Amino acid sequence: MGKKYFGTDGIRGRVGEAPITAEFMLRLGWAAGRVFADQGYSHILIGKDTRISGYMFESALEAGIISAGVNVSMLGPMPTPAIAYLTRTFHAQAGIVISASHNPYHDNGIKFFSGEGKKLPDMLEYAIEAELEKPLHTVESSSLGKANRVIDAGGRYIEFCKSTAPTGIDLDGLHIAVDCANGATYQVAPAVFEELGAKVTAIGVKPDGLNINENCGSTKPELLQKTVVENGCDLGIALDGDGDRLLMVDHQGEILDGDQLVYIIARQLHRDNAMWGGVVGTLMSNLGLELALKGLGIPFERAQVGDRYVLEQLVKYGWLLGGESSGHIICLDKATTGDGIVAALQVLGAVTRSGKSLHELKQGMAVMPQTMVNVRMAERCDPTQDKAVQQAVAETEQKLGDQGRVLLRLSGTEPLVRVMVEGIDESLVNQLANELAGSVEQAMG
């Protein structure tokens, strides 16, 4: 049975359009409070990014939770992974994140973490949705929850991040540009790297409620590239609006995506004899990552797209490192979710321990040309089941041989089919991707 509100990464949409309204958030807070109260729990944390709508939804959730008889602690603007961490350390039963991650300011959303700092189990999401269908009623006044603000949340998280840095790391002498996307990391990220000895040039640290992810951050790294080159920085760090994604820029202004960063971390762990098992990527991970890890003798498995699926595979295999090309990187021995600051520290550990620049470290992985074509559907269907499309896929795979990959994937959020072709020859990859996209369009009429 499908869920009405919860997707693969919580509830998300445009502010003011159902379900991203103040009324719904009040009911959601009450429903979540009731579910946890029925299990004998009594404490929920709420954090948010820097969107202007966060104030409205924070207040609505707070009121709903309190009306259900559950206590709530307000963290203020904090990265998503910080809320996961603080939920564990405060021994709270759940953490709520008000954020739409890398989306523009006019979107917002809600994510839940369990008391273990992991995504909420399906069972609890179904239970919350069931409560949402019931009339809202307030507990007796003597049983109302209480609210407080955690004034040292930022300091706690900064110390946690520093504790995850590789042993002996010293960033003294490194000049780092840090782009915080005018989002939730704008206070904590520069402090982490400065306190570990780096000279930091910070950008994207003046949020006004409307400029989150606007021409900055991991989805728009051009400003960081320019900043690194013009200021002579050794490297740059780009985070997204809620701090769970990471891209980096080397001293020449060249971008390193999540696949390249995972490779650098894995190779350093391998050299330190600290690589536990293998690496989990996704269906979209570059073939170059798989081949580079194979060359080191490191196993590699692919999960569905989405950091929750990467985490599921890591737990299944008992491995510790996984990630997506988009920059969600999970270091499971350090954190329970993707954490841009923590992942950046692992890369910086490889830089300092090897004595090599980020530009040099990325040379061990050859990025395969990869072309993605989005084919829009008039109505949602599944063209991957069409025999003509399946034949076109088979012919494309035959042309690529064992030096390429084909993937057709339905978008989880839009009526799109994503057609991806990957291989050694960039011109051939582009040609085959467009031909295959044409076959998909034809099959859909």
Residue 346's closest CA among 239, 269, 233? 269
Burial (0-12, 13-18, 19+ Cβ within 10 Å), 385: exposed
Q: Is 154 helix (H, G, I), strand (E, B) or coil?
A: helix
- Helix H or strand E segment including 199: strand 199-203
Q: Is 141 helix (H, G, I), strand (E, B) or coil?
A: helix
Residue 442 amino acid letter = Q
Q: Is 235 helix (H, G, I), strand (E, B) or coil?
A: strand
101 counts as catalytic = yes
Residues near 261 by beta carbon (within 8 Å), at least 6 away in sequence: 246, 247, 248, 323, 327, 329, 343, 347
Catalytic option among 101, 114, 218, 285: 101
> Which residue reads 């992942």 in tokens?
343
Quote the CA–CA distance of 376 and 392 in Å, as a whole number.
Answer: 18
The torsion of the CA quartet 169, 175, 179, 184, rounded to 10 degrees, works out to 40
In Å, how far are 213, 327, 352, 356 from 257, measured between CA atoms? Answer: 17, 6, 20, 18
Residues of 188-219 as b/e, b for ≥16 C-beta within 10 angstroms? bbbbbbbebebbbbbbbbebeeebbbbebbbb
Q: Which residues are catalytic?
A: 101
